[in-house]
Amino acid sequence: MTAISHEARRSLLAANLICLASMLVWAAGLPAASLIIPHMPPIALTAARTTLAASVLLPIWIMQDGLRTVRSANWAMGAWVGFVMLGLASFFVIIALQYNDPVTVAIVTAVMPVAGILLECVADKRPFTRALALGLVLSLAGGLIAVSSAEGEVDFGVGVLAALASVLLYTWGSRETIRALPELSALGRVTITVAGCAGVVLVAAVADGALRGSWPDWGAIGPTQFAGLAVFGIGSMAISQLLWIISVGRIGIGAASMHMNAVPFYVMLIVFILGGPWNWAQTLGAAIVVSGALIAQGLIGRRL
């Protein structure tokens, strides 16, 4: 493997730290979502989540890049990519969480590195090097260690299929956000996809409510549930998505997706902070996952 310059190495390390932060913030949204899911239908919750995230991101984007840039952006493309990556992916995550616990849903994301790397190799003609293969193996091994140490039963039916669909849609959409909107900043790419998605899903949620009577149970939603929605929308979507797109733009969807396999550890870490037990197996799994991502990028073992 070609030697990496000191400057490039620092940039890659920074991008990996950003990706790690994205995963940590996203992981926090999984247990938080459990507070609001019982009281809102999936489409309505997806609409509420994306609208809340868009209401935070849009003013910041206008202040940073200017109203002219916002108006001239390709909103049709942003809405399409956002609906697939965030709307449909978020909808399937909510379905998955209705059937399985947050750690189980996080574990299913172990397939994302495979999807991301295959997408890069097929669509972008990326060579499948030994370092990439070793990084992928380590990433999957770390995910399997996390799986073996997770508690609770897994529903290998609708829940897992929904989580798998969410991962595949999100993988494609993340790459497409970078490819289809090259003229925008990272903040612009995230905001236009989130806001575009919110517009589409809001219409779908109103139609779902009018046709099927699927409205939120407002009487059961209090401060605790709204707090869970805030973490699920602002943290796990607005902030996490911005950090994610920045990292994908720097290291690619394949390497970035490897970090997904450490999410079960981050969920466990959050549970530990809240008073739960520490799981050394998941800690080891997370360390292996991160090592695999670094090897795949040439930050470790440059001679592979």
The Cα-based distances of 70 to 66, 185, 194, 237 in angstroms read: 7, 11, 13, 20
d(CA 140, CA 81): 28
Measured in whole angstroms, the distance separating CA 188 from the mean position of its chain's CA atoms is: 17
pLDDT for the residue numbered 151? 53
pLDDT for the residue numbered 279? 73
SS3 167: helix
Residue 263 falls in which region: left (phi positive, over 0), alpha (psi -120 to 50) or beta = alpha
pLDDT for the residue numbered 298? 62
Rounded to a whole number of angstroms, the distance between the first and last alpha carbons of the chain is 6
pLDDT for the residue numbered 58? 95
Q: Going by C-beta distance under 8 Å and a sequence separation of 6 or more, which residues neighbour residue 143? A: 107, 110, 261, 264, 285, 289
Q: What is the pLDDT along the chain (304 residues), one digit of tens a residue?
A: 455 667 777 888 888 889 888 988 888 887 788 889 889 998 899 899 999 999 999 999 999 999 999 999 999 999 999 888 888 887 887 788 777 766 666 666 666 777 777 777 776 677 777 777 777 777 777 766 765 555 545 455 677 788 878 888 888 888 888 888 888 999 999 999 999 999 999 999 999 899 888 899 988 999 999 999 999 999 888 999 899 889 888 888 777 877 777 777 777 777 777 777 777 776 777 677 667 766 766 666 554 4
pLDDT for the residue numbered 230? 92
Alpha helices, H only, 129-262: 130-148, 158-180, 186-212, 223-230, 240-258
d(CA 195, CA 55): 8
Model pTM?
Answer: 0.75
Residue 66 falls in which region: left (phi positive, over 0), alpha (psi -120 to 50) or beta = left
